[in-house]
């Protein structure tokens, strides 16, 4: 697999991304390649400084960088030689099997829509987040921020897309789909969640188990947690803050360690014609390494092709 990595993305780039790429080479398969995109001279000198002499990292030059605060659409239109633009170019041309970046989230999302585009039949691509489960498993929650509000049919499709991801990437047989709501009973919630409930219930391609509540996030009621991006984003950031709170109190626990964004491996963009992962802005080398491994796992699972097969064929 060829994993493109934005060397310039993230608050600690390029130092953290380059170190993260080197870490990843120790865990990837021998024939996997990392395409490290960014300012060639800087990357090459830092690879040398870090003593990297292998051949699994190939440098792809990009003369421009989209900064964290830039307007996504404007930046992508103007900076056609930016690392994000080049990364998506490689993905579109199938010169990369996956692309990941800890840079500007909006630019990563808009870049996907500009280049590889949404899979035909997918109403709204989404950003998903992996959810650690108390039992030791992993679930997936979507959307966590790409679509602040969602129509019922979009929420229904999140149930399908999440199920496909859970099946092929998380390797969960017949994943359980739950709709995040304020009560378990049918008929609870907003007009949109009520309508989404009926659509999910009638959808025979998924294993819908009904509404779930905030307290069910970490238990095994649902493998796929469906919600709009406003709600998912609040849940995600609240959960992330727990790790920081516990760490500040010197409380260590293997379960809560999984809330550490460094361990999570970034958030996949689902429903586009390619495998893309967005990393946390403050990504450390460990976080970058896990993001690359996540991207490789998505590519190996051929998840983007599964979406195409499901919706376009």
CA 6 to chain CA centroid, nearest Å: 14
Among 77, 78, 253, 312, binds a copy of itself (CB under 8 A): 253
Q: Which is nearer to a copy of itself, 216 or 305 (CB)?
A: 216
State the nearest-atom distance from the C-beta of 290 to a copy of itself, in Å. 20
Residue 138, both tokens: 């992993």
Instruction: Select the span of 80-88, 209-217, 280-288, 294-302 touching a copy of itself (CB under 8 A).
Output: 209-217
End-to-end alpha carbon distance in the chain: 25
Give the three-class secondary structure for 55: coil
Q: Which is nearer to a copy of itself, 39 or 181 (CB)?
A: 181
**Residue 234 interacts with a copy of itself (CB under 8 A): yes or no:** yes
The answer to whether the bond into 119 is cis (omega within 30° of 0) is no
Residue 283, both tokens: 């990504």
Element of type H or E holding 131: strand 126-132
**Residue 217 interacts with a copy of itself (CB under 8 A): yes or no:** yes
Q: Which is nearer to a copy of itself, 96 or 127 (CB)?
A: 127
**Residue 231 interacts with a copy of itself (CB under 8 A): yes or no:** yes
Q: Per-residue DSSP letters for 140-188? A: EEE-SSS-SS--HHHHHHHHHHHHHHHHHTS--SS-EEEEE-S-SSTT-
Question: How far is residue 215 from each of residues 60, 92, 256, measured CA to CA in Å?
Answer: 45, 40, 16
Please list every residue from 156 through 195 that binds a copy of itself, using CB under 8 A.
Answer: 180-183, 188-191, 193
Q: Which residues pair with 2 in a beta bridge?
A: 33
**Residue 149 interacts with a copy of itself (CB under 8 A): yes or no:** yes
**Residue 239 interacts with a copy of itself (CB under 8 A): yes or no:** yes
Residues in contact with a copy of itself, shown as a per-residue x/- string from 79 to 118 under the rule CB under 8 A: ----------------------------------------
Q: Which is nearer to a copy of itself, 137 or 183 (CB)?
A: 183
| 215, 219, 224, 227 alpha-carbon torsion, rounded to 10° | 10
Among 230, 263, 300, 310, binds a copy of itself (CB under 8 A): 230
Q: Which is nearer to a copy of itself, 81 or 220 (CB)?
A: 220
Among 43, 57, 235, 288, binds a copy of itself (CB under 8 A): 235
Residue 306, both tokens: 């599964």
Instruction: Select the span of 44-52, 153-161, 212-220, 276-284 touching a copy of itself (CB under 8 A).
Output: 212-220
Question: How far is residue 263 from each of residues 34, 100, 227, 256, measured CA to CA in Å?
Answer: 19, 15, 23, 11
Residues that bind a copy of itself (CB under 8 A): 134, 145, 148-149, 180-183, 188-191, 193, 213-218, 229-231, 233-242, 244-245, 248-249, 251, 253, 255
């Amino acid at each position: 697999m060829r994993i493109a990595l934005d060397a310039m993305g993230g608050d600690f780039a390029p130092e953290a991304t380059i170190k993260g790429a080197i870490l990843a080479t120790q865990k990837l398969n021998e024939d996997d390649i990392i395409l490290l995109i960014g300012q060639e001279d800087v990357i090459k000198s830092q690879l040398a400084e870090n003593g990297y002499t292998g051949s699994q990292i190939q440098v792809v030059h990009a003369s421009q960088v989209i900064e964290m605060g830039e307007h996504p659409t404007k930046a992508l239109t103007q900076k056609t030689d930016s690392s994000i633009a080049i990364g998506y170019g490689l993905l579109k041309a199938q010169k990369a099997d996956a692309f990941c970046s800890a840079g500007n989230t909006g630019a990563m999302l808009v870049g996907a829509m500009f280049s590889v585009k949404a899979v035909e039949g997918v109403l709204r691509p989404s950003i998903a987040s992996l959810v650690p489960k108390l039992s030791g498993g992993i679930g997936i929650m979507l959307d966590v921020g790409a679509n602040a509000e969602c129509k019922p049919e979009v929420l229904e499709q999140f149930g399908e897309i999440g199920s496909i991801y859970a099946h092929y990437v998380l390797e969960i047989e017949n994943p359980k789909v739950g709709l995040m709501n304020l009560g378990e009973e049918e008929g609870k919630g907003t007009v949109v969640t009520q309508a989404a409930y009926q659509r999910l219930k009638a959808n025979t391609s998924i294993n819908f188990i009904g509404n779930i509540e905030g307290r069910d996030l970490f238990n095994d009621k649902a493998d796929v947690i469906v919600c709009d991006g406003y709600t998912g984003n609040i849940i995600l950031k609240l959960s992330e803050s727990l790790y920081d709170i516990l760490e500040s109190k010197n409380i260590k626990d293997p379960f809560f360690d999984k809330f550490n964004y460094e361990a999570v491996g970034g958030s996949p963009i689902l429903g586009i014609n390619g495998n893309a992962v967005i990393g946390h802005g403050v990504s450390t080398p460990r976080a970058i390494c896990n993001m690359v491994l996540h991207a490789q796992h998505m590519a190996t699972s051929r998840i983007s092709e599964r979406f195409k097969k499901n919706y376009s064929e």
